[in-house]
Chain A
Amino acid sequence: MSRIRGGHNFYQIRLSDQKITASREMVDILLALDLNTIEIHRKSVNEGGFILYDSEIAKKKFEEPEFIDIPFRKIALDVGKNSVMANTVAIGAALGILDLGLEALKKILIETFSRKGEEVVQNNIACAEAGYKYALTNCPKCEAFGIREPEGKRLMIITGLQAIAMGAIMSGCKFYSAYPMSPSTEIMEYLASRAEEYNLVVEQAEDEIAAINMAIGASFAGVRAMTGTSGGGFALMVEGLSLIGMTETPLVIAEMQRPGPATGFPTRTEQGDLLFVLHAGHGEFPRVIFEPGTPKQAFYLTNRAFELAEKYQIPVFILSDQYLAESEWTFEELGSEKLIYNDYRLREEDLKDVEDYKRYKFSSTGISLLAVPGEAGKHLVVADSDEHDEEGHIVEDSETRIKMVQKRLLKKLPLIKKEIEAPFLYGDPSPKIVLVGHGSTYGVIKEVVDTIPKDKKAAMLHFSQIYPFSERDRFDYIGLLENADLTICIENNATEQFAKLLRSETGFEFSHQISKYDGRPFTIENLKEELHAYI
């Protein structure tokens, strides 16, 4: 969670030599840098686990067997000549207990502290080594974990936000305007850090209204653009969204949810904005919503978002939440081979056979040629938020209105629907139990399915291309649900938003619902516990 320098702050790391995709409730090692941490998290330590602490810092001595008292502060002072390095000692100690070696940590210490000079780097390394040794010597019973670094595989470590931002760069996004808001800000920070390398324009707008209108202006002028925010900021962008609908300006919008209403829980997680994003904007216009389940999906769906936004000249959302956005995941495979890039914007040479260019010319698909103003020879590009004629000029007549609604909405909808991929089925191919989720619950549902005995015939059905729903002729996921005995929709919100959406679009009603709205993500333990009542 994102406290700055005050308050209680913690970080949970789960590691395994097997593939893992979710967080756990309980921990094996609690590394406590103050007494408060011990008091809050002590109950989350597994039987057989350890609490590493410094009785001098905590000003309290614990006698229970799980406590290992390590003089973080004293070692830091003795070895590093500065008590601030107590945390480096502590990390060294944790690695010692896991017997994982110090090479990786040393690399990080060099990267992190080299700008502070060689002495700081060397003192930190010495602290890490001292902590490591101390733990090895004083905790002989800690070998039980037995985790080994996987051999031969290169793993990447990435957050959902980084995957989205990298996906944007690799999809040709050249312009990003936003207003800082947790948990979306890192997209802007990432893009700003790459602005020089890839010639990106990243602008911090005066408010979210300006942010979306800037992105629209850049897109209208001919560059791939994107904006990003969280629920409250998106609320300010809503009129701009409607402007995209009317002017048919391609735009990708990242909405990183946090619990509302209003300021809510700024640094916690929830899937509470799904129906808001779906219904936002006055008037009727098409949109696509993607809600990735992993950073890998976030990367590829961001690429797909740019493709669909430009192909159909519509807004496309990357909807995610604080949990996926800010969690760091390791992956083996993320490649540029499967990325798509089609430039749908037309310049003078592309338009040489067009005699009389009209920005909103009627067509069988509803899609009109997207010319770049100023780069299209003498052709003029006119966009209007009023109802307009084919040229883009304001009109009042009902005949044009009807044709324009058909053009920008009704003709495009079935074509967009065809682009949407089916939900992902994991587990039994003809399941009796189906756990259904969307977005960031992917990992936890998947791992929980693995824990259900095979003879129960359980599966996960996960939606990441969430709206519009994909056509059933590709994969009859509704038939699959209808054939199951138990269908449980799992959501990080209080009002069963996805279940409502699926029901309104397909008529299917889940047999059960599990909702979690405490601002925390599902963990393997608490989802299993919730499921216990049904399975």
Chain B
Amino acid sequence: MPTSEDYKSQVPAWCPGCGNFQILSTIKQALIELGIEPWEVLVVSGIGQAGKLPHYIKCHTFNGLHGRTLPVATAAKLANHSLHVIAVAGDGDCYGEGGNHFLHTIRRNPNISLFVHNNQIYGLTKGQASPTTAEGTYTTIQPYGVLQEAMNPLAMAISQNCSFVARGFAGDQEHLKELMKAAIKHKGFALLDILQPCVTFNKINTFKWYRDRVYRLGDDYDPYNRNKAFEKSLEWGDKIPNGIFYKYEREIFEERVPAIQEKPLVRQKFSLEEVKHEIEKFY
């Protein structure tokens, strides 16, 4: 069984008090509790403060480009579906720059988990509005306040029939850990949006602001009811629900790609002998 020592890496360069610290330690704890060894997991990240996460954990890592976590993660999973693949992104990374990939990865439904550190602001570039920043928020380059309505990633995912849609809060690690474990165990594409206070640039959505509002979806909540899930995903303001909003079990992408039904692509040995008759087809 892995221990926290196995996942120990370098000291993070995040601001003291950042919500990312809780997310980091919760991911490690979730992996340990699931008995997943570091060499069995690939974390794919993009650019942003969230994108640095895999450097602070020990596992296979691909820290790629801003917005492009999901294409890399999907393809890595197709190449070797014996790996646990977790995509880690920020709100700007996943919902802004990578918005198109978000939509199409839902459609593909690969068996990967997507953890979005949603701090409703751009941290790495120092405080500009992200797709989830509340309308009217003032920033250095939104002097009239944000003019766009904030994006609702959960509602969007449910509308596209995403196979697992959940939201957690960095300040409620126990709950977040259970959500992470559920997302990793879920067979299919699992979105876990994580409310993460940015202590430096987001003075509105603070730890206190969230603590006053968040509540856990109760045991009587049925995540298989799509209409209810959609309704719940629209709830935002004085009360903010967290938990598993929606589940839809369907065949995963890896089960639908014929080439990898027998064994992972990466374990299929190439032999020129077996393909050389291809030339004959042109005579």
Which positions 250-283 of chain B face chain A at CB distance < 8 Å? 257-260, 265-268, 270, 272, 274-276, 278-279, 282-283
- CB contacts (< 8 Å) of B52 on chain A: these are 394
- Establish whether residues B272 and A195, one from each chain, have CB atoms under 8 Å apart when the complex forms: no
- Establish whether residues B39 and A386, one from each chain, have CB atoms under 8 Å apart when the complex forms: no
- Establish whether residues A210 and B101, one from each chain, have CB atoms under 8 Å apart when the complex forms: yes
- CB contacts (< 8 Å) of A217 on chain B: these are 44, 62, 71-76, 79
- CB contacts (< 8 Å) of B186 on chain A: these are none
- Establish whether residues A170 and B276, one from each chain, have CB atoms under 8 Å apart when the complex forms: yes
Q: Judge if A373 is at the interface, Cβ distance under 8 Å.
A: yes
- Establish whether residues B257 and A201, one from each chain, have CB atoms under 8 Å apart when the complex forms: yes
Which positions 139-158 of chain B face chain A at CB distance < 8 Å? none
Q: Of A198, A223, A247, A343, which one neighbours B275 at CB under 8 angstroms? A: A198
Query: Given the known A-B contacts A175-B78, A382-B60, are A170 and B272 also in contact in the complex, defined by CB atoms under 8 Å?
Result: yes
- CB contacts (< 8 Å) of A216 on chain B: these are 64, 72, 75
- Which residue on B lies nearest to A210, using beta carbons? B71
A471–B73 Cα gap in the complex (Å)? 40
Query: Given the known A-B contacts A156-B282, A222-B80, A394-B52, are A170 and B42 also in contact in the complex, defined by CB atoms under 8 Å?
Result: no
- CB contacts (< 8 Å) of B274 on chain A: these are 198
Bin the interface of chain B by size. Answer: 35 or more
Interface string of A149-176 (1 = CB under 8 A from B): 0000011111000100010011010110
Query: Given the known A-B contacts A170-B272, A200-B259, A221-B266, are A386 and B63 also in contact in the complex, defined by CB atoms under 8 Å?
Result: yes
- Establish whether residues A199 and B75, one from each chain, have CB atoms under 8 Å apart when the complex forms: no
- Which residue on A lies nearest to B97, using beta carbons? A209
- CB contacts (< 8 Å) of A196 on chain B: these are 258-259
Q: Of A195, A213, A334, which one neighbours B72 at CB under 8 angstroms? A: A213
* Minimal beta-carbon separation of A355 from chain B (angstroms): 15
- Establish whether residues A218 and B78, one from each chain, have CB atoms under 8 Å apart when the complex forms: yes
* Minimal beta-carbon separation of A231 from chain B (angstroms): 21
* Minimal beta-carbon separation of B103 from chain A (angstroms): 8
- Establish whether residues B44 and A385, one from each chain, have CB atoms under 8 Å apart when the complex forms: no
A334–B279 Cα gap in the complex (Å)? 7
- Establish whether residues A220 and B265, one from each chain, have CB atoms under 8 Å apart when the complex forms: no
- Which residue on B lies nearest to A166, using beta carbons? B278
- CB contacts (< 8 Å) of B82 on chain A: these are 374
Q: Of A199, A210, A343, A385, which one neighbours B104 at CB under 8 angstroms? A: A210
A347–B106 Cα gap in the complex (Å)? 32
- Establish whether residues B260 and A201, one from each chain, have CB atoms under 8 Å apart when the complex forms: yes
Which positions 363-393 of chain A face chain B at CB distance < 8 Å? 372-386, 392-393
Q: Judge if B217 is at the interface, Cβ distance under 8 Å.
A: no
Which positions 235-253 of chain B face chain A at CB distance < 8 Å? none
Q: Judge if A205 is at the interface, Cβ distance under 8 Å.
A: yes
- Which residue on A lies nearest to B253, using beta carbons? A203
Query: Given the known A-B contacts A170-B272, A214-B74, are A373 and B42 also in contact in the complex, defined by CB atoms under 8 Å?
Result: yes
A221–B266 Cα gap in the complex (Å)? 7
* Minimal beta-carbon separation of B224 from chain A (angstroms): 28
Which positions 209-240 of chain A face chain B at CB distance < 8 Å? 209-211, 213-218, 220-225, 239-240
- Establish whether residues B63 and A394, one from each chain, have CB atoms under 8 Å apart when the complex forms: yes
- CB contacts (< 8 Å) of B268 on chain A: these are 174, 199
A157–B276 Cα gap in the complex (Å)? 17
Q: Of A158, A177, A374, which one neighbours B39 at CB under 8 angstroms? A: A374
A376–B266 Cα gap in the complex (Å)? 12
Q: Judge if A78 is at the interface, Cβ distance under 8 Å.
A: no
Q: Tally chain A residues at the interface, Cβ within 8 Å.
A: 67
A200–B274 Cα gap in the complex (Å)? 13
- CB contacts (< 8 Å) of B79 on chain A: these are 174-175, 201, 217-218, 221-223, 225
* Minimal beta-carbon separation of B38 from chain A (angstroms): 6
- Establish whether residues B265 and A223, one from each chain, have CB atoms under 8 Å apart when the complex forms: yes
Q: Judge if B159 is at the interface, Cβ distance under 8 Å.
A: no
Query: Given the known A-B contacts A214-B71, A215-B75, are A374 and B40 also in contact in the complex, defined by CB atoms under 8 Å?
Result: yes
- Which residue on A lies nearest to B9, using beta carbons? A393
Which positions 53-92 of chain B face chain A at CB distance < 8 Å? 54-55, 58-65, 68, 70-80, 82-83
- Establish whether residues A221 and B258, one from each chain, have CB atoms under 8 Å apart when the complex forms: no
- Which residue on A lies nearest to B72, using beta carbons? A217
A380–B59 Cα gap in the complex (Å)? 6
Query: Given the known A-B contacts A175-B265, A217-B72, are A381 and B60 also in contact in the complex, defined by CB atoms under 8 Å?
Result: yes
Query: Given the known A-B contacts A201-B257, A374-B80, are A220 and B62 also in contact in the complex, defined by CB atoms under 8 Å?
Result: yes
Q: Judge if A100 is at the interface, Cβ distance under 8 Å.
A: no
Ordered by A's residue number, 28 sampled pairs between the chains whose C-beta atoms are within 8 Å are A154-B283, A174-B259, A174-B270, A177-B71, A198-B275, A199-B258, A199-B259, A201-B79, A201-B265, A203-B78, A205-B71, A206-B103, A213-B64, A213-B65, A216-B72, A218-B79, A220-B76, A225-B79, A336-B279, A373-B42, A374-B39, A380-B59, A383-B62, A384-B55, A384-B61, A385-B63, A393-B9, A393-B10
4 A-B pairs with least C-beta separation:
A217-B75, A217-B72, A221-B79, A172-B270
Spell out A's residues near B (CB within 8 Å). Answer: 154-158, 162, 166, 169-170, 172, 174-175, 177, 194-196, 198-201, 203, 205-207, 209-211, 213-218, 220-225, 239-240, 243, 247, 334-336, 339, 341, 343, 372-386, 392-394
Q: A217-B76, A336-B279, A374-B82 are in contact. List 16 more A-B contacts (CB 8 A).
A: A174-B259, A175-B79, A198-B274, A201-B260, A206-B101, A210-B101, A214-B75, A217-B73, A222-B80, A224-B270, A243-B68, A336-B276, A381-B60, A383-B61, A383-B64, A394-B63
